[in-house]
Amino acid sequence: PKECFLIEPRETKEDTTKTRKRRKKKITDVLAKSEPKPGTPADLQQLMKDYYSSSRSVIELEELSLPESCFLTANDLTHSLSSYLKEICPKWVKLRKNHSEKKSVLMLIICSSAVRALELIRSMTAFRGDSKVMKLFAKHIKVQEQVKLLEKRVVHLGVGTPGRIKELIKQGALNLNPLKFLVFDWNWRDQKLRRMMDIPEIRKEVFELLEMGVLSQCKSESLKLGLF
């Protein structure tokens, strides 16, 4: 009797690409299944290492690492923005009364979009009191308008996106020397479940902003970083 062999149908290129497409997980799928974990200083340090590892030497990477002492208590996901800011800056009222320098702010809150910045401004009413707050984003606001406002009046709090903040520093309209607190809107997720640092363009602009004097101020301990 002859042996009978079953020949399996050959896999076409089309089939393999289909299975590959199926296997590829989107970041939203991964994030949807994962439990939300509060951000920590180690997360920021690791992101910086990953971002610069291909373009910097080992020595340069070491210089980028920040001392633990420059980090404020991170939000454990139980705080509102006002309660978090009150915790990290209990002497805010006294601090803002002593601030009289134009073209500067005492506290910067960095987020991913103009819409999110407006949400944050609304949610910090209990903390800010009589403080002058400025919107530092590009949507519907020309950079020249922001430059004039910073020149004219004393501003205590700035809330906005890293791209526009960077532009104002470049133009000499925003001086970072009086800055005492830099808070990242770290844990919030957008409709696609991405945090601010999950978006490549935002991450790039954040690191570029950090190199515009922020890192050196953190090392000299004149500036503290918070992860909300």
**So where are the chain's domains?**
36-227
Burial of 161 (0-12, 13-18, 19+ CB in 10 A): buried
pLDDT of residue 147: 97
Query: Given CA atoms 65, 69, 71, 73 in this order, what sign does their dihedral have?
Result: positive
Residues 6+ apart with CB under 8 A from 111: 117, 120, 159, 160, 161, 185, 188, 196
pLDDT of residue 154: 97
State the CATH class of domain 36-227: alpha beta
- Residue 198: φ, ψ to 5°: -85, -15
pLDDT of residue 18: 54
Q: How far apart are CA 74 and CA 38, in angstroms?
A: 8
Any idea which residue has 């200083």 for tokens?
41
pLDDT of residue 202: 97
Any idea which residue has 């080992």 for tokens?
58
pLDDT of residue 126: 95
pLDDT of residue 17: 55
Any idea which residue has 């997980």 for tokens?
25
Tokens representing 214?
């922020």
SS3 content of the chain, % helix, strand, coil (to 5): 50, 10, 40
Block means of pLDDT (10 residues each) for the chain, 228 residues, are 62 57 60 76 94 91 90 95 97 96 98 97 95 95 96 97 97 96 97 95 96 93 96
- Residue 175: φ, ψ to 5°: -95, 125
Q: Please check whether residue 48 is in contact with residue 64, taking contact to mean a CB–CB distance below 8 angstroms.
A: yes
